[in-house]
Amino acid sequence: MAQHIPTTKRHVLKPAQQQRFLAEITSIGGGDVPTQVVGWSRKGKWTRLKATYPNGWELTVNFDRAEKVSSYSSKLSLRASLRLSNQVADTRAASDGDDGA
């Protein structure tokens, strides 16, 4: 049985060179240069492009066989840090032994 050889190639692209093209598609990057842009090609034609922005957005662009944008999607990833205090508030009611009756 012959082994399947993938024909899709992954390319790491220069974010500054892709900024204008990505900004024409959508403004989710807020004008910032992406921190990372990765593209995939098959048979010498672009199939997909993925850009990550410093503001937490991630843009995925899909291309048709004529290398025109067929669709795009975006997602936002927010990360927050939580700082818990060492002091824990006592939520139990103070009781004097009287049940109020």
pLDDT in tens, 5-64: 889 999 999 999 999 999 999 988 888 899 999 999 999 999 999 999 998 899 999 999
Q: What does residue 4 show for φ and ψ, rounded to 5 degrees?
A: -75, 125
Q: What is the pLDDT of residues 56-85, one digit of tens each?
A: 899 999 999 999 999 999 999 887 777 776
Coil vs helix vs strand at 6: coil
pLDDT band at 95 (very low <50, low <70, confident <90, very high): low
Widest pairwise Cα distance in the chain: 86
Q: What is the mean pLDDT of residues 89-98?
A: 54
